[in-house]
Amino acid sequence: MPVITSIKPQKNGKRVNIYLDGEFGFGLDIQTFLKEKLKIEQELTQDQIISIVKKGEFQDSYDKILMFAAIRPRSKKEYELWLRKHKVHASLHQELFDRLERLDLLNDKKFASWWVQQRQAFRPKSNRVLILELKLKGIDAKTAEDVLSEEELDEKNTAKKMLDRKLTLWNKLEPFERRKKIYGFLSQRGFDYELIRDILDELEDELQ
């Protein structure tokens, strides 16, 4: 059986290199190294080596995906794309998802609520655009619609806020041209005809 002949720290101080029978065997994170209680002159079977390396790969992926999760809330699709991008072996995916769920870092409905709240606070969008954005993040239509309903968004108020600065710019245009500008601006941003018509009716006096 292979024997550990040397253990050397890597330059980053977070990992060690394990040498077997005088040759490099594998790298391992400090946490897994300590858990496995590896030491010089210890014999390892091939099955033990495979198990230790897999645990090390899992820990390394787990540490990195936690850093990814810490930046902002993520949808499951975003985590899946991250795993593929970093070539994390498929055999580790489910356990990583389970860990993230236990930490409440993997919850698509919670992510969707956060996304909608952020959009409304900093970059208001129509409900139609919000649903499209959530779909691109992997959120199913029912979850997206449920979240929008629970958030009780006032879409008309959102549209008016988005119009505020534009109305000033279009102040010198003829009423008909202003109407066209308003309609085009709101329709391009996903607001439906009925809502736009209501807003135009409410602005009737200003547009004369």
pLDDT tens digit sequence for 134-182: 999 999 999 999 999 998 888 998 998 889 878 888 888 888 898 999 9
Can you give the pLDDT at residue 4? 95
Residue 12 has pLDDT above 90, yes or no: no
Together in a domain, 139 and 167: no
Together in a domain, 127 and 163: no
User: Domain for residue 36, yes or no?
Assistant: yes
User: Domain for residue 33, yes or no?
Assistant: yes
CB 38 within 8 A of CB 56: no
Report residue 39: phi and psi, to 5°. Answer: -150, 160
User: Domain for residue 24, yes or no?
Assistant: yes
Together in a domain, 33 and 80: yes
For the chain, how many structural domains are there in total? 3
Instruction: Render the burial of 165-202: b for 16+ CB within 10 Å, e for the rest.
Output: eebeebeeeeeeebbebbbebbeebbbeeebbeebeee
- Confidence label for 206 from pLDDT (cuts 50, 70 and 90): low
Together in a domain, 123 and 96: no
Together in a domain, 112 and 47: no
**Can you tell me the distance from the alpha carbon of 138 to that of 113, in angstroms, rounded to the nearest whole number?**
14
Can you give the pLDDT at residue 171? 80
User: Domain for residue 165, yes or no?
Assistant: yes
pLDDT tens digit sequence for 51-93: 999 999 999 999 999 999 999 999 999 999 999 999 999 999 9
Can you give the pLDDT at residue 201? 87
Residue 207 has pLDDT above 90, yes or no: no
CATH number of the domain to which 113 belongs: 1.10.10
- Distance in angstroms between the alpha carbons of the first and the last residue of the chain: 91
Residue % of the chain over a pLDDT of 70: 98
Residue 42 has pLDDT above 60, yes or no: yes
Together in a domain, 160 and 143: no
Residue 13 has pLDDT above 90, yes or no: no
C-alpha to C-alpha distances, 79 to 10, 86, 90, 134, nearest whole angstrom: 28, 11, 13, 15
User: Domain for residue 89, yes or no?
Assistant: yes
User: Domain for residue 83, yes or no?
Assistant: yes
Together in a domain, 98 and 8: yes
pLDDT tens digit sequence for 97-147: 999 999 999 999 999 999 999 998 888 899 999 999 999 999 999 999 999
Domain range holding 141? 108-151
Together in a domain, 76 and 97: yes
Can you give the pLDDT at residue 203? 81
Can you give the pLDDT at residue 57? 94
- Confidence label for 36 from pLDDT (cuts 50, 70 and 90): very high
Together in a domain, 162 and 188: yes
User: Domain for residue 208, yes or no?
Assistant: no
**Can you tell me the distance from the alpha carbon of 33 to that of 55, in angstroms, rounded to the nearest whole number?**
10
User: Domain for residue 17, yes or no?
Assistant: yes
Together in a domain, 14 and 92: yes
Enter the pTM of the model. Answer: 0.81
CB 30 within 8 A of CB 16: yes
Together in a domain, 31 and 95: yes
Can you give the pLDDT at residue 204? 72
Together in a domain, 13 and 90: yes
Residue 185 has pLDDT above 70, yes or no: yes
